Amino acid sequence: MIKIQVPATSANLGAGFDSLGLAVNLYNYVSMEESDQVEISTTDGSVVPTGKDNLIYTAAEHLYQMCGKPLSGLRIVQENNIPMTPGLGSSSACIIGGLYGANILLGSPFNTDELVDIAAKIEGHPDNTTPALLGGIVTAVASDDRVLWVKQEVYRHLNFYAIVPDFELSTALARKALPETVSHQDARYNLSRAALFSASLLQGKYENIREAVNDRLHQPFRMKLIAHADEVFEKCYRYGSYGTYISGAGPTIMSIVGMENKTFEPRMRRYLDKHGLEQWKIYKLSIDNQGACVKL
Q: Contact residues for ligand HSE (CB under 6 A)? A: 11-12, 17-18, 125, 127-128, 171, 174-175, 218, 248-249
> Per DSSP, which regions of 12-165 are E strands?
20-34, 39-42, 74-79, 137-143, 146-152, 158-164
CB of 126 to ligand HSE, least distance (A): 9
173 vs 293 by CB, closer to ligand HSE: 173
Q: Which is nearer to ligand HSE, 12 or 28 (CB)?
A: 12
Whichever of 12 and 103 has its CB closer to ligand HSE, that residue is 12
Least distance in angstroms from the C-beta of 246 to ligand HSE: 8
Per-residue b or e along 134-158, where b marks 16 or more CB atoms closer than 10 Å to that residue's CB: bbbbbbbebeeeebebebeebeeeb
Instruction: For ligand HSE, give the closer residue by CB, 11 or 137.
Output: 11
| Peptide bond before residue 251 is cis, with ω within 30 degrees of 0 | yes
Minimum CB–partner distance for residue 17 and ligand HSE (Å): 6
Q: Least distance from C-beta 89 to ligand HSE, angstroms?
A: 7
Compute the half-sphere exposure of residue 182: CA atoms within 13 Å on the CB side of its CA. 16
Q: Which CB sits closer to ligand HSE, 58 or 171? A: 171
Q: With respect to ligand HSE, which residue has the nearer C-beta, 11 or 287?
A: 11
SS3 146: strand
In DSSP terms, 143 is beta-bridged to 146
What sign has the CA pseudo-torsion 288, 28, 256, 265?
A: negative
Distance between CA atoms of 202 and 289, rounded to whole angstroms? 13
Question: Distance (Å, rounded) from C-alpha 199 to C-alpha 33?
Answer: 41
Minimum distance of ligand HSE from residue 192's CB (angstroms): 19
Residue type, 34: E
Smallest distance from the beta carbon of 21 to ligand HSE, in angstroms? 8
